[in-house]
Structure 1
């Protein structure tokens, strides 16, 4: 059976889809998946053994430059790729109108997606052959697991979902670190999810005082400015500059532990079952929090204000819960 997945972004949403693929692969012999995904995140599906073809898309870029002739040429090129194969099942797991119009509508095969009650944007269901109800008041991973099970006609396993991407990195996982280190994921695109910068300075100092080595990555210009200030104050901190997804995945796998704000990389850490403390403010972790594994720990600000998660409280919780650091 050949199945096309349409789930183009974001990083967390992409990672949330992986357990559903594992469920289906364990339930249906010889099933294989192609995946339409934003080019930025196209490395991630390659790590799953049941994904055979990646069809990258630049929908965000095209949307922002819809008036550009180059954008329309690239979109036409994308259509030529997606219509080359007819699929047994197409699953639109995005539930957005723009994705349904520009991707799902043009693909060849029986189209499935969420119904008007379950989808993020109810009009997206106009473009599906079959619309399915999936309860909203459950974790995003369980929602997608249920959607895939309904579309492909199998029962959702009772066990916790398995990402099944760790084996791709076996070569790197078995390499021992010369010096153990903690990764801090200090930044996220949403300002309301940010932990105060002074709090990061405080917790970095705590970690260094106790002899821990620290790595901090960055990608954007604003992130670079922040980490450069950190480096100026704490010369011992190692800055990871604009790594690829595979490179940061290796860094996560080999880390001793992680402290993170609510970002896609915290979900990647969860997929590898790395010891990870994630700090949540306005987001409800019961619906979209890090999922699975004994090493995932969430701290949620009761008032949704990240300032109420103090450095002393975060660090004491971190050391108390992760025995690997003791």
Structure 2
């Protein structure tokens, strides 16, 4: 059976789709998936053994360069790739107008969320068979149920598995065999950033406990933050320390995360990658809620700043974003200790 998946972005949304492939592969052993995904995330589907071919799309870039895209032939080449196969089923796992439009271009019966279930109800007009899936549940479960209905099996009630092929992640020589904790501090929204002074205090506690702290980064601003956090650690006498990683490709960073003892992450795509790698983690939420799109799976702790607002009264230190004031390093450390115990 040959199925085309349309799930273009974001990193977290792409990762949330993987357990549905695991379910389908268990129910239909000969199933193979092709996947349309934004070029920035094109390596992720390759990490699941049920995926045969990845078809990169560049909607984000093309929107900014419409004439150049048309002139270069990129759009024509993409359509040729998309139409090269006859599929037994084409599943729009995103529920947006842009993904529904791409779904309509492919060859095969087209399925997606109905107008009551999709984020953009108009997308349901593009499908041959719209599917009803309750909204008030985690995104992973919604996609698992969508695939189950589209492909004709009962959705499992057990927790989903991402089933990443870890052999695709090159081992990184960056830790000297010392156990380490990764701090995933970078995210797009300024309001989702955990305060820098809090990262510094937490790093100090982790290093004093005998772990190395590793700090990845993806752009100049994140690199500066990582260097600031690293410079703050006061106790290096234990032989531990803190390290700002070099710029890495996504698969290389996945290799680092996969070998971590634990991770502390803000609400960002790399936090979802951590959960997909089944690494114990503490995820920090400020203006967002983990209920529907939080880090999914075993040994994932969600700390919500909004649950701790009553602790901010009387605090003298100015903390930005202010919503995180009550989610102090001590609060995070207590949860992280438990995750470190789980991993050992």
Same-fold status (TM-score > 0.5) = yes
Alpha-carbon spacing, 1:251–1:321, altered in 2? closer, same or farther (3 Å) = closer
Partner of 2:68: 68
TM-score (norm 1): 0.93
Partner of 1:253: 258
Mapped partners of 2:248, 2:224: distance in 1: 16
Partner of 1:323: 341
Partner of 1:276: 281
> How far did 1:65 drift?
2.2
Partner of 1:82: 82
Mapped partners of 2:104, 2:343: distance in 1: 51
Partner of 1:216: 215
Question: Quick check: 1:296 aligned with 2:300?
Answer: yes
**More deviation in 204-213 or 216-225?**
204-213
TM-score (norm 2): 0.88
SS state of the match for residue 4, structure 2?
A: strand
- Measured on the aligned residues, the alpha-carbon RMSD in Å equals 2.1
Deviation by residue 1:49-104 (Cα, 9 ceiling, x = unmatched): 11000001111111122243467621121111111111110000111112222x11
Indicate conservation of the 8 Å contact 2:262/2:339, yes or no: no
> How far did 1:22 drift?
0.6
Long gaps (5+) in structure 2:
310-322
Deviation by residue 1:202-249 (Cα, 9 ceiling, x = unmatched): 111222233321100001121122123234444942112321111011
Alpha-carbon spacing, 1:69–1:287, altered in 2? closer, same or farther (3 Å) = closer
SS state of the match for residue 184, structure 1?
A: strand
Deviation by residue 1:161-199 (Cα, 9 ceiling, x = unmatched): 1111145459859xx961111100011111221111111
Q: 2:329 aligns with which of 307, 311, 326?
A: 311
How many residues in Structure 1 have an aligned counterpart in Structure 2?
322
Indicate conservation of the 8 Å contact 2:287/2:306, yes or no: no
**More deviation in 162-171 or 121-130?**
162-171
Mapped partners of 1:145, 1:325: distance in 2: 28
Long gaps (5+) in structure 1:
none
Indicate conservation of the 8 Å contact 1:66/1:72, yes or no: no
**More deviation in 69-78 or 177-186?**
69-78
Where do 1:41-60 residues align within 5 Å? 41-60=41-60
Mapped partners of 1:154, 1:59: distance in 2: 33
Question: Quick check: 1:2 aligned with 2:20?
Answer: no
Runs of 4+ with >3 A deviation: 69-72, 166-173, 231-236
SS state of the match for residue 241, structure 1?
A: coil
Mapped partners of 1:291, 1:169: distance in 2: 22
SS state of the match for residue 109, structure 1?
A: coil
Mapped partners of 2:280, 2:177: distance in 1: 19
Indicate conservation of the 8 Å contact 1:25/1:50, yes or no: yes
